[in-house]
Structure 1
Amino acid sequence: MNTRMMTLILMVVAAAFSRLIPHPWNFTAIGAMALFGGAYFPSKKQSLLIPLAALFISDLALGFHNTMLFVYLGFTLVVMLGWALRDQRSVFKVGTSALVTSSVFFLVSNFGVWAMGTMYAPTFNGLVQCLVAGIPFFDNQIYGDLFFSGLLFGGYEAVKKYAPEFLGATVK
């Protein structure tokens, strides 16, 4: 395994670890990790498997629940969003993508809570109630996705610019 791939994997694993340490609700690097993985892993297969495997490993420690399918679907969509950043990354595009990441995950995961749970009526009004109840957690999701996207994307680009030898011969 080359140095670049090892660096990418370590960054993704470190981001997944952010779920395991004490943190404000939803202020983790997990959304940024999925976006970063989609943008930087050389193949689409790797970009899906490695971040989702890191998420799964952290879920082994945290436990599973009946909406996991929706959580993984949300992060799969975020990885796919990262594919759009493969050839054109800028602060604006990464920031915008981080905001979209938060929104996609919020909508998909809360839809899962509504669809799989018994807390809300299985009606449109029940879905709206579920989404409204999730709003207090959405702020931290946005802050976390913006902060950790800046950290992951910015950190990797800084290493690429100032210490490219650390990443190996070919750096994209």
Structure 2
Amino acid sequence: MNKKRILVLSGFILIAALSRVFPHPYNFAPMGAMAIFGAAYFTNKKLAILLPLLAFFVSDLLVNNLLYSGFYGGFTLFTPGFYWMYGSIALIVLAGFLIMKKVNMKTIIGGSLAASIIFFLITNFGAWLGNPMYPQTIEGLMMSYTAGIPFFHYTIAGDLVYSGVMFGAFEYAKFKVPALQPIK
């Protein structure tokens, strides 16, 4: 086990997650990028799943209790429907295991787009199930997906930008610090 590599990878994911506290357009976030990054570089599959989820949880605590504290009216451990978001992150990591077997421009872009689509489909499905505003019919489900469309381009942009930065920076770091190479 390469402890330096695990520490640096974890740091990349945590820094990306903490960027959520800075002003940004809705859904322009690192969630999908963190998930495919973890899938691509962690040789330990459990860490690949757990670290993006843990980083997301830490950033959620900050976002929900600092930025949106007035909205929730007190300390909030989890927001309503959190399991759809966390579940989508775990599913993106699992998809990343298949997509990110080799890190290159094609797989990074493909993984980012897949992450955006998975997040959109899962979280809007959850919004449909958990919101009485939407009738529990196919029409209601389509209403939920339609309501999410104005934010979808930000999800795509966020995943592509964060993936580009995270993968590019780590590949550069691996080039400069050979100790970051995986141990065979």
TM-score (norm. length: structure 1): 0.92
> What's the secondary structure of 1:149's corresponding residue?
helix
Matches of 1:2 and 1:74 in 2, distance apart? 28
Aligned residues: 170
Find the counterpart in structure 1 of residue 5 from structure 2. Answer: 4
CA apart distance, 1:62: 2.7
Counterpart of 1:67 (choices 65, 68, 81) is 81
Distance in structure 1 (CA, Å) of the matches to 2:79 and 2:86 = 12
Distance 1:155 1:51 in 2: 17
Look up the match of 1:129: 143
- Say if 1:32 and 1:145, in contact at 8 Å, map to a contact too: yes
Read off the aligned partner of 1:75 and give its amino acid letter: I
1:40 maps to what in 2? 41
Contact 2:99–2:110 (Cα < 8 Å) also in 1: no
Q: Deviations over 1:23-81 (max 9, x none)?
A: 11111112101110111112110011111011111112233322111111100011112
- Partners of 1:60 and 1:96 lie apart in 2 by 30
Distance 1:37 1:122, change over 3 A: same
Contact 2:81–2:126 (CA under 8 A) maintained in structure 1? yes
Q: Distance in 2 between matches of 1:153 and 1:55?
A: 18
Residue in 2 aligned with 1:108? 122
Residue segments in structure 2 that go unaligned for 5+ positions in a row = 65-77
* Deviates most, 27-36 or 129-138: 27-36
CA distance in 1, matches of 2:112, 2:20: 18
Amino acid at match of 2:177: P
Identity of aligned residues (%): 39
Residue 57 of structure 2 aligns with an amino acid whose one-letter code is: F
The superposition leaves residues 97-148 of structure 1 with CA deviations (integer Å, 9 ceiling, x where unpaired) of: 1001000000000000000111211110000001001001000000010111
| Partners of 2:173 and 2:58 in 1: CA distance | 27
Q: Secondary structure at the match of 1:122?
A: coil
Q: What is the deviation of 1:5?
A: 1.1
Tell me the CA shift for residue 17 of structure 1.
0.5
In the TM superposition, residue 167 of structure 1 has moved relative to its aligned partner by 2.3
Q: Name the CA distance, whole Å, in 2 between partners of 1:129 and 1:85.
A: 30
1:53 alignment partner in structure 2: 54
Q: Secondary structure at the match of 2:21?
A: coil
**Partner-residue secondary structure (3-state), 1:18:** helix
Give the deviation of 1:171 after TM superposition.
5.6
* 1:164 to partner: Cα distance: 2.5
Give the match for residue 14 of structure 2. 13
